[in-house]
Chains A and B, each alone.
Chain A
Amino acid sequence: MESCVHRIEVHYTADPRLKTRTSRIRSLGFPVDDLHLIDVYTIATSTRGFSVQDLSEIGAQLINPVVQKFLMDTPTLLPFDYAIEVGFLPGVTDNVGTTARQTIEDFFSMKFEEGEAVYTSQLFLVRGTLSPDQLHSLADTLANPLVNRVHILTRTEYGDKGMAPVVPVVHLNEMPNAEPVYLDLDDEELIRIGKEGIVDSRTGERRGPLALDLAQLHAIRDYFDEEGRMPTDIELESLAQTWSEHCKHTIFASAMDDDVPRGLYKTFIQDATKKIRKAKGDKDICVSVFTDNSGAIIFDDTYLVTHKVETHNSPSALDPFGGALTGIVGVNRDTIGFGLGAKPCINVYGYCVGDPETHPTLFRGKDASMPILSPRQILDGVVRGVGVGGNCSGIPTPQGWCWFDNHYGGKPLVFAGTVGVLPREIAGRQLAKKKAEPGDLIVVVGGRVGKDGIHGATFSSEALDPASPVTAVQIGDPITQKKLSDVIVKEARDLELYSSITDNGAGGISCSVAEMAKECNGCHVHLDKVPLKYHGMAPWEIWISESQERMTLAVPPAKLDALMALMQSREVEATVIGEFTATGKCVVEWHGMVVMEVGLAFLHDGLPKKHLTTTYTQATHPAPVTPCPDRLDATMRSMLGRKNLCSKEFITIQYDHTVQGGHVLGPVQGRGRVQSDASLTKVVPGSKKGVGLSQGLFPTYSEIDPYLMAGAAIDTAIRGLIAIGVPLDTIAILDNFCWCSSDEPERLGQLKLAAKGCHDFAIAFGTPFISGKDSMYNDFSGFDAENNKVKVSVPPTLLISSIGIHPEVMKSVSLDVKIDGDLVYVIGETAEELGGSEYFAQLGGVGDSVPKLDVATAKARYGRLTEAISHELVASAFPVSHGGLGIALAKVAIGGQLGMDITIPTTMRPDYYLFAESLGRFVVTVAPDRKREFERTCGADALLLGRVGGKNLRITAGKLLLDIPVAELETAYKAPFRGY
């Protein structure tokens, strides 16, 4: 095919990346003396050759001659001992290669033909003495075997020939068809099909999990018996996608015990929202809840804001960077796919990982094969992935958190969320509403389809084990998506070129098209029209592939030409692949043959109902028995240095949190740069209002009391917003349940209690749920080094995210203490509630006394604080959360770089008073001349603790408990992640 292959190698004359790259490699234990990085472009053409003159012109376009040089088809002259080249595997998206190709096409006014391309790779020239093992493990740290190919040469092997050019072309020549699948099998074999997949007739191998259980397979068999034929593989795969836990949330939808016949979702989440909306009446803030890709609330008379938080746990366990990147750009599409298209305006993140200083030796396979990635590798990868996604897309990331617990060492949790903004109405057309009409054309826009991301939806519905499919990993391309996003939300939407839109996420077009088909009751797809990355994919693969950066539109025929012209001018690929119908069926054709014909009713509602049984055993956990130390200086220092309490600013500063120009209260605040619990962002230019975001998460409380755990998460998510001045009645919340072992009745018992907690606390606060997501099997099943079976489950984890509207951002309040002499108050009562607290963990225990909350009291208190903030009576405010009052005091002092003199009551053990995690509390500071007005507003709830001043944090309770310079507190707070 490619008769003409050229290789251009680009290097810096003085490479600024080398210092950090070299020290990073050395810190991993490789004895590397010297390193050079070379960017390689391999140009493979068949119809047009390039002369030496052409190539030098191409080279000149690919470098900056001030600092870079290039070589054409020539070995390097740089000294080295080993050459490691890392490129992409065939079929993997190569963004840089695509850009280089466009540049060459522009320059020569030519077009590359089908099969011609530019491929990029990176060459690492290493000096040092490494054993072959070391060399290979170094290569492992530079490459991910799921997406990269690696080519290693010693200096001798390299000789004077250099690296041989490699052209990673996918060779798949046959044209596969759909195959019938025989289901008249015994139950044992059916179970295997459900768990391991259909046997591929060409390879004889299983295709990967369908995640269908026996009852579901029976229902499918019965359906096709009625139809009088066997299902095809594409029909079976399609049903598996649509019915997956990931898409249908079967556990949340199923009847549970005798008391929850309608299932957890309807009973506890949806009903809570219904009751709250009804109670709020005219003051209802909800516009769209649960039905669309995101939830939406009112921003002002003209705009809505949307919010959605997703998880991308399983992909991130295998490929942290790729998994997190596709997680964030995927949830961006849930914004673009809301209504007729909202503009993504804020990204949020959350990571639950193992302690990055630990090295669990766990393997996905037997005999020490397929080792899991270390927590440090996972943390580095997911941090970078979300960063690249947001930064490249021009969406600020001001809000996030990171939680460490070794139970996340087998499987991390990666949360990614996006807030969007859209006008409520344009030219009389409500933008939150959409409907595909029969006759509308099905148009897919964005990236092409490849084998990447097959079985993502079914894979994330299973625990992570050796059979986890590697093709489940997707590779993100933020720029392709940015082009897609811009053309939709900034142009096509307001030109009214489509009548409905949705994201291609889990399940690919099989889910997006079938989902939209519900709006008009039918669809007819010509699968052979779908643009592919390479030939040779089977119809079922095309149908369910989760290749990224694609969306599906319903386009009225009269608008098609305009849409296609616009897409072409923005260089976004758009293809008509069929039409929406009203036949009640989902019909798929492949080169003129019908390969799928399933009734929409069966596809969406044929899923057999389940009845789940739960049990719950109240466990007890002994509290630590340590006497209160005489002084708490050392305790405070070690508490501040706990990974869950200290600064993770290294994440924050890698994330652009200022793009779009709406930064008001950011991820770090004050002269001392302390991480905040809430952020505030302007999303509509010229408006006084802003969007506040916060969250609550208490996985350590789950094993003690899941009901109160949910309460703590909801209160904390709300309180973070109250502290910056967002009024309670503007706040909505989102739930993300990340559970484990959801086939065990005890785990389901915890789930039921947590869901009930969500219901009760949300109603008590009057904060509706607008969107939610669950991920039920966050377990790792594998082996330890001795080949023993090991299961590592995450603690039941509930993330509550909050969104609220600040009426006047100029009156918002940051966390840092401001001015010498200001008065320090704690608002809200402290009780001896330390069960599951950071302090008990520091002492090596757990305890049972999880914080309780009287919501009526708290609600009244929050209202009074909102009033005080709106009258500008408060100079700083910070919610008391993980680590308790002591940590909150230290943080606000570090933030303001000012000392404080504090006296606490003597009614409780002082260490307990300082580190109890009682809910409903704030630390605020007030200017002395506002004292009377503040106390009149906040009432007896506000307890005066002392004054801002000096250089030390001093805390007294009858006697001096601690006296530490703020500079030293800051060191303790920032030390753990220095160097990350």
Chain B
Amino acid sequence: MTTSERFAGRATGPAHASGPARIDEKALIMSGFGINSEMETKEVLSRAGMDADIVHINDVIAGKVRLAEYRLLVFPGGFSYGDDTGAGNAYANRVRNNLWDDLLEFLDGDNLVLGICNGFQILANLGLVPAFKRHYTRDIALMPNRGGRLECRFVSLKPAADNLWTRGIERIYCPVAHGEGNLSCSPETLLRIKRQKQIAFTYCCEDLTPAYGEYPWNPNGSVEDIAGITSADGKVLGLMPHPERAMEFVNQYDWPLRKEEMQRKGVPVPTESVNMLLFRNAVGYFR
């Protein structure tokens, strides 16, 4: 079944907070060598209804755990190999040199891959995004931030395409924390990414108007304000910001003000954040 077929048969939109049942499909979250966001990634998926196993990459390489038993593969955030030889590069080399055939098989199946921050850098080095016509070559680079150093702050994102990940999302509001998130590629690649609607999310101002490359709304100088892109077939998403770090209402930078405003208007204060929708969408793909 292709992506479009799945969606054709399911026009009800994304799953809602009021808790559809947990799904049987499981996620594999890669860890090891300096990956550091695996636990919150497992937590957010669990809240979205999907169980996940955190597995050290060496256990996958050793065959203790098989990729084929999972439907969602996640490369979480971190500082794999301390960014040595370029952010995400050494971990990508480890995957390519040891797990490439398993990974290709996984990509051929009806499965999803998500890479966040360092995970996106790993996906980019593996060529899993943008992966035009399933050619897994390196077509984009996540270069050092324009400001020259790591920066941690909350950013607003808006969807730039309607795909399985972005459905129903109006805005994502979550932290960035990276030193190398400045997406760069050739003009031809950029045109093709845009034409094929592979830009999933862009950085924007709080009122959802474009950031136009301006700091701090676009925190790293990324071309066309790109925060995340998908593979050509839409099943792989790479995203620099960290929605998994702001899964609750109180994780959002501006929550004290928003809570005060809501309470005075008599509006109930939510417990979870807008960012959960992204993960519900991913989990919802398997429903």
Contact = CB atoms under 8 A, between A and B. Distances in A.
Contacts of B186: 66
A21 interface: yes
Interface stretch (B86-94, B195-203, B226-234): B86-94
A666 B253 contact: yes
B110 interface: no
Given A659-B245, A661-B244, A64 B33 contact: no
A570 B32 CA distance: 8
A653 interface: yes
Interface string B58-97: 1100100000000000000111011011100110011001
A387 B89 contact: no
Contact of A661 (B40, B93, B259): B40
A486 interface: yes
B43 A685 contact: yes
Interface string B124-148: 1100000000000011110111111
Given A99-B90, A103-B85, A569-B56, A67 B257 contact: no
Given A65-B138, A664-B250, A107 B93 contact: yes
B153 interface: yes
A704 B161 CA distance: 65
B145 to A, nearest CB: 8
Contacts of B160: none
A920 to B, nearest CB: 24
Contact of A663 (B81, B86, B145, B251): B251
Contacts of B221: 16
A291 B256 CA distance: 39
Chain B CB count within 10 A is highest, among A95, A102, A655, for A102
Given A66-B139, A663-B175, A666-B253, A387 B37 contact: no
Contact of B245 (A21, A571, A658): A658
A666 B138 CA distance: 37
B151 A653 contact: yes
Interface stretch (B9-17, B18-26, B165-173, B260-268): B260-268
A598 interface: no
A659 B82 contact: no
B104 interface: no
A107 B189 CA distance: 28
B32 A658 contact: no
Contacts of A99: 81-82, 84-85, 90
B33 A67 contact: no
Contacts of B148: 16-17, 19-21
Contact of B59 (A98, A569, A660): A569
B31 interface: yes
A875 interface: yes
Contacts, number: 200
A64 B93 CA distance: 11
Interface string A800-831: 00000000011011101011000000000000
Given A106-B94, A392-B34, A819 B152 contact: no
Interface stretch (A202-210, A475-483, A505-513, A765-773): A475-483
A63 interface: yes
A685 B248 CA distance: 10
B34 A106 contact: no
A818 B265 CA distance: 14
Contacts of B31: 486
Interface residues of A, number: 70
A569 B31 CA distance: 13
B111 interface: no
Nearest to B64: A569
A570 B260 contact: no
A763 to B, nearest CB: 34
A818 B97 contact: no
B3 to A, nearest CB: 26
Contacts of A477: 82
A483 B177 contact: no
A655 B152 contact: yes
B257 A816 contact: yes
B36 A100 contact: no
A954 B135 CA distance: 64
B90 A819 contact: no
Interface string B203-215: 0000000000000
B141 A66 contact: yes
B274 interface: no
Interface of B: 31-34, 36-37, 39-40, 43-44, 56, 58-59, 62, 77-79, 81-82, 84-86, 89-90, 93-94, 97-98, 124-125, 138-141, 143-153, 175, 177, 182, 184-186, 189, 221, 242, 244-251, 253-257, 259-261, 263-264, 269, 271
Q: Top 5 nearest A-B pairs by Cβ distance?
A: A394-B36, A20-B148, A661-B40, A99-B84, A814-B256
